[in-house]
Amino acid sequence: MEPIHEFVPDAAEPQAPASQPTQALPYCRNGHACSPGDFFCPICNEELETSPATADGSASNPIPPAASAVEAATRLIADWVIVEEQATTYRNQQQFVVNRKGEPLRLLLTLYRSGCEPDQAIYDLLRKFSSDHVPKLYETGHWQGQAYEVCEMLSEGSVQDFQIARDDLSTIERFVDELGRVLADFSEAGLRHRDIRPDTIYIRTRTPLDLVVGGFGSARLSDLDLEIASPLETGRYTAPETVMGGISAASDWWGVGMVLLDKITNGGCFAGADDQLFMIHVIAHGVTIPDGLEPRLSNLLRGLLAVDRSERWQWKEVQKWLQGIEVPPPAATTSRAAPASGPSIRLGGKDFRNVLQFTLAAARASEWTEACDLLERGALAGWAREMELDSRV
């Protein structure tokens, strides 16, 4: 790969040439040699770790966090000048504040890891949406084998740090109405976002509250009620069916419910659990709706967070809720509990009687080796026979 291109600003006076130190090649954590300027390993696609400068003063990675603004501004992706790197929770992409040389307008460039880029059809559709719903898309392309997109940068940021008091129903209604209109248009166009969370909901203005949705790296087009495809990333805002590989318009409404619950509890709904443990709990037991909420708000959350997607509220029910029309919530937001007795299998010091709960637990890195041993010893097959499971399971 060629290194990140650099431009040299005009100097006021000629400078004496300085000797250039030899730049050490960066390596990914798997030991593969990379080229200076690479963001991801070209062999295994691992993101390159930021490392300190070498003894001769050169840096082994493209833009260390401590790099000065001048250093960052001399690096390019395509013909976009990198102003600074943005922190992101995504594992399959990097984000940068960029502009064109000599132009003041700052935009957000997202660089995708190879194999993780959105379908071009997604971009074609996004260009048709009003800027009331999505950030303006300026450019898409490829740079050194990786896809990138450049879109409007919203100065108010995302709703990550935006809090809503649980008794502030007017703000809650505005929040839900803004997102509801976006998702309604997505659904009508057959767009499944699959990653609704605080990081992908941006604030255009705070007064009045104006929200747009971005982050389409996991998006898919579908006209089916449910189809199967593995998500690129999952997290605590992911719908139960999406964790298991399902794609549904109802899944995005689950995301709205989880983001709203997060905001009104100031993150307390997650109770310090890591993402995987939280998802296991949700699939097994559903989401706990806090006590003491205004009944109308409680009904909204119960509707949006129904584990059964066929009972989950979408735009039709949410519209009625916004209009003050009483909509009966689902009978329960929880899934069926595991039986208290019957055949069990032990993993990680815990007995499992539910196949789904066992599968999610076995997928954890800490339990994977033990789960593989259960499979190799035939214990898993024996448990399946005792459960009288279909052989395909």
For residues 206-216, b (16+ Cβ closer than 10 Å) or e, as one string? eeebebbbbbb
CATH architecture assigned to 159-322: Orthogonal Bundle (1.10)
Domain boundaries, the chain: 69-152, 159-322, 345-386
> Which pLDDT value is given to residue 339?
55
Q: Is 78 left (phi over 0), alpha (psi -120 to 50) or beta?
A: left
> Which pLDDT value is given to residue 194?
85
pTM of the model: 0.67
Ranges of the chain whose pLDDT falls below 70: 1-74, 224-234, 244-246, 271-277, 284, 332-341, 356, 360, 363-365, 389-393
The CATH code belonging to domain 69-152 is 3.30.200.20
Does the N-terminal peptide bond of residue 52 adopt cis geometry, omega within 30 degrees of 0? no
Q: State the residue for tokens 């084998």.
A: 145
Long-range CB pairs of 37-46, under 8 A, 24+ apart, other chains included: 37/1, 37/2, 37/3, 37/4, 37/62, 37/75, 38/1, 38/62, 38/144, 39/94, 39/111, 39/146, 40/113, 40/114, 40/146, 42/1, 42/145, 45/113, 45/114, 45/115
> Which pLDDT value is given to residue 336?
44
> Which pLDDT value is given to residue 318?
97
> Which pLDDT value is given to residue 225?
60
> Which pLDDT value is given to residue 351?
87
Same fold, 69-152 and 159-322: no
> Which pLDDT value is given to residue 69?
36
